[in-house]
Amino acid sequence: MLREIRPAIVLLLVLTAITGLAYPLAMTAIAGTFFPAQAQGSLIEKDGKVIGSALIGQEFRDDKYFHGRPSATVAPDPNDSTKTVPAPYNAANSGGSNLGPTSKALADRLKDDVDKLKAENPNQPVPVDLVTTSASGLDPDISPEAAQFQVARVAKARNMAEDAVSQLVASNVQGRMLGLLGEPRVNVLALNLALDRAAAK
């Protein structure tokens, strides 16, 4: 058994160096060469400043922008570090609400949010993704239905024709990947940037 001690130490160190340092560092170099934009986080710049990542959702409250899904992310409470405070779309601390199907807190939250959205647009059924929090709290997408649901509000806030906004939504819908995988979706940040560009014209 004693002769197993040397491999237990040396082999561990060698394999640790290969898998824990050489591999990730080499992959960082190679990935940075072939896919520089993705490797850095798919960042979007506007006027030379980083305004976010194409893959990470951000919070929109203004009526003139399409809104993303509710986010359950939190941040440490500045007054008491053992507690947390709500901080939607905190991309340095991802997470979901973890509220279960019989949670009273969830039932109350859903009722409030559905009532608000019904008041905003009584003509369409409220899309489920617009009132449920995502798993990461950073979901960059909403369903095409959730985008169409907001068209009237956005058009009114921007003084644009509803048809024009609706068309912009339609042109920003991404279908299932390879025609099969996942669900159709609209990237909220991309849609809002397209909206700003259309308004600027």
Partner 1 sequence: MTMAGWLQIILFCVIIVALTKPLGWYMTRVFGGERTFLSPVLRPIEAGIYWISGVDEKREQHWLTYTVAMLLFHVGGFLVIYGVMRLQAVLPFNPAGQGAVAEDLSFNTAMSFITNTNWQNYGGESTLSYLTQMLGLTHQNFLSAATGIALAMALIRGFSRASMRTVGNFWVDVTRCTLYVLLPICVVYTLFLVSQGMPQTLGAYIEATTLEGAKQTIAVGPVASQVAIKMLGTNGGGFFNANAAHPFENPTALSNFVQMLSIFTLGAALTNVFGRMVGNQRQGWAILSVMGVLFIAGVAITYWAEANGTSTLQAVGLTGGNMEGKEVRFGIVASSLFAVVTTAASCGAVNAMHDSFTALGGMIPLINIELGEIIVGGVGAGMYGMLLFVILAIFVAGLMVGRTPEYVGKKIEAREVKMAMLAILVLPLMILGWTAVGVVYPAAAASMANAGPHGFTEVLYAFTSAAGNNGSAFAGLTGNTLFYNLTLASAMFVGRFFMIVPAMAIAGSLAAKKSIPPSMGTFPTTGGLFVGLVVGVILIVGGLTFFPALALGPIVEHLAMNAGNRF
137 binds partner 1, rule: CB under 8 A: yes
Q: Which of residues 160-179 bind partner 1 (CB under 8 A)?
A: 176-178
Q: Which is nearer to partner 1, 21 or 161 (CB)?
A: 21
Backbone angles phi, psi at 143, to 5 degrees: -75, 160
Say if residues 131 and 116 touch (Cβ distance below 8 Å).
Answer: no
Name the segment binding partner 1 (CB under 8 A); options: 10-18, 151-159, 165-173. Answer: 10-18
Say if residues 55 and 40 touch (Cβ distance below 8 Å).
Answer: no
The gap from C-alpha 120 to its chain's centroid, in whole angstroms, comes to 23
Q: Which of residues 26-85 bind partner 1 (CB under 8 A)?
A: 27-28, 30-32, 34-35, 38-43, 49-62, 65, 69
Q: Which is nearer to partner 1, 94 or 166 (CB)?
A: 94
CB of residue 107 vs partner 1: minimum separation in angstroms? 5
User: With CB under 8 A, what is the number of residues at the site for partner 1?
Assistant: 101
157 binds partner 1, rule: CB under 8 A: no
Q: Which of residues 90-119 bind partner 1 (CB under 8 A)?
A: 90-104, 106-107, 110-111, 114
Among 48, 82, 128, 165, binds partner 1 (CB under 8 A): 128
DSSP-derived secondary structure for 86-98: E-TT-TTS-----
Largest CA distance in the chain: 81
- Closest-CA residue to 120 (of 158, 150, 155, 162): 150
User: CA distances (Å), 63 to each of 151, 158, 169, 184, 194, in order?
Assistant: 10, 9, 16, 24, 16
Among 85, 135, 157, 199, binds partner 1 (CB under 8 A): 135
**Residues 49, 85: Cα–Cα separation, whole Å:** 28
Q: Which is nearer to partner 1, 24 or 86 (CB)?
A: 24
5 binds partner 1, rule: CB under 8 A: yes
